[in-house]
Amino acid sequence: MTDGPLIVQSDKTLLLEVDHPLADPARRAIAPFAELERAPEHVHTYRVTPLGLWNARAAGHDAEAVVDALLTYSRYAVPHALLVDIAETMDRYGRLTLAKDPAAGLVLTSTDRPVLEEVLRSARIRGMVGERIGPDAVVVHPSERGRLKQALLKLGWPAEDLAGYVDGERHAIALREHGWVLREYQRQAAEGFWHGGSGVVVLPCGSGKTVVGAAAMALAGSTTLILVTTTLAARQWRDELLRRTTLTEEEIGEFSGARKEVRPVTIATYQVMTTRRKGVYPHLELFDARDWGLIIYDEVHLLPAPIFRFAADIQARRRLGLTATLVREDGREADVFSLIGPKRYDAPWKDMETQGWIAPAECVEVRITLTDAERLAYAMAEPEERYRFAATTATKTQVVVDLVAQHCGEQILVIGQYLDQLEELAQRLGVPLITGGTTVAERQRLFDQFRAGELSTLVVSKVANFSIDLPEAAVAIQVSGTFGSRQEEAQRLGRLLRPKRDGRTARFYALVARDTLDQDFAAHRQRFLAEQGYAYQIVDAEDLPGPERSTDLTA
Q: pLDDT, tens digit, for every residue of 31-72?
A: 889 887 776 778 888 989 998 899 888 888 899 999 999 999
Q: Report the C-alpha gap between 313 and 287 in whole angstroms.
A: 9
CB 553 within 8 A of CB 408: no
Predicted confidence (pLDDT) per residue in 210-240, tens digit: 999 999 999 999 999 999 988 888 999 999 9
User: What's residue 120's pLDDT?
Assistant: 92
Q: Between β-strands 318-323 and 199-202, what pairing exists: parallel, antiparallel or unpaired?
A: parallel
* 201: three-class secondary structure by DSSP: strand
The secondary structure of 429-452 as a DSSP string is: HT--EE-TTS-HHHHHHHHHHHHH
Residue pair 145/316 in contact by the 8 Å Cβ criterion: yes
User: What is the tens place of the pLDDT at every residue in 256-308?
Assistant: 888 889 999 999 988 888 887 877 777 877 777 788 999 999 988 777 777 77
Find all residues with CB under 8 Å of 86, minimum gap 6, and list them.
Answer: 48, 53, 63, 66, 67, 70
Sheet holding 34-38, edge to edge: 6-8, 13-17, 43-48, 34-38
CA 152 to chain centre: 24
Question: Which helix (H) or strand (E) segment is 231 a member of?
Answer: helix 231-244
How many Cβ atoms from other residues are within 10 Å of residue 235's Cβ? 16
Does residue 95 register a pLDDT over 60? Answer: yes
Which residues, in sequence order, are CB contacts of 378 under 8 Å at separation 6+? 370, 386, 389, 390, 516
- Rounded Cα gap, residues 126 and 130, in angstroms: 8
Tally of CB atoms within 10 A around 431:
18
Reported as a pLDDT band with limits 50, 70 and 90, residue 555 is very low
Distance separating alpha carbons of residues 477 and 412, to the nearest angstrom: 8
Sorted by sequence, the CB contacts under 8 Å of residue 212 that are 6+ apart come out as: 186, 189, 190, 193, 201, 203, 322
Distance (Å, whole) CA 167 – CA 174? 17
CB 521 within 8 A of CB 484: yes
What pLDDT, on a 0 to 100 scale, did the predictor assign at position 329? 58
Q: Are 514 and 387 in contact (CB under 8 A)?
A: no
Amino acid identity for residue 268 in this structure: A
Rounded average pLDDT over 510-529: 85
> Which helix (H) or strand (E) segment is 190 a member of?
helix 184-196
pLDDT band at 330 (very low <50, low <70, confident <90, very high): low
Q: What radius of gyration, in Å, describes the C-alpha atoms of the chain?
A: 25
Between the alpha carbon of residue 319 and those of residues 40, 158, 293, 356, the distances in Å are 34, 18, 9, 29
What DSSP string describes 473-506? EEEEEE---STT-HHHHHHHHHTT-SPPTT-PPE
pLDDT band at 551; cut points 50, 70, 90 = very low
Angle at 464 between CA 249 and CA 537, to 5 degrees: 135
Q: Is the pLDDT of residue 550 over 60?
A: no
Counting residues of the chain whose pLDDT is more than 90, the rounded percentage is 41
Comparing CA positions, the residue from 156, 159, 215 lying closest to residue 184 is 215
Pair 521, 28: CB distance under 8 Å: no
pLDDT of residue 328: 65
- Residue 265 phi/psi, 5-degree rounding, is -120, 115
pTM over 0.95: no
Residue spans of alpha helices (H) in 328-456: 333-339, 349-354, 372-380, 383-391, 395-406, 419-429, 440-452
Give yes or no for residue 467 having a pLDDT over 80: no
Q: CB atoms < 10 A from the CB of 496, how many?
A: 26
Contact of 350 with 532, CB cutoff 8 Å: yes
User: Which tens digits make up the pLDDT trace of 163-194?
Assistant: 888 889 999 999 998 878 999 999 999 999 99
Amino acid identity at 15: L
- With beta carbons less than 8 A apart as the criterion, state whether 470 and 446 touch: no
Which stretch of DSSP H or E encloses residue 194? Answer: helix 184-196
Contact predicate 180/187, CB 8 Å = no
Instruction: Pick 250 or 330 by higher pLDDT.
Output: 250
Distance CA 395, CA 542 (A): 11
Q: Give the C-alpha separation, 37 to 536, whole Å.
A: 17
| 45: helix, strand or coil | strand
Euclidean distance between CA atoms 401 and 324, whole angstroms:
31
C-alpha dihedral (70, 71, 77, 81), degrees to nearest 10: 60
Q: Is-contact 67 14, C-beta < 8 A?
A: no
Q: 128-146: buried (b, 16+ CB within 10 Å) or exposed (e) per residue? A: bbeeeeeebbbebeeebbb
Mean predicted confidence (pLDDT) in 396-416: 91
| Confidence category of residue 552, pLDDT binned at 50, 70, 90 | very low
> For the segment 97-146, what is each residue's pLDDT rounded down to a tens digit?
999 988 888 999 999 999 999 999 998 898 889 899 989 999 998 888 88
The amino acid at residue 433 is L
Q: Give the Å distances, CA to CA, from 237 to 194, 256, 451, 487.
A: 20, 13, 17, 22
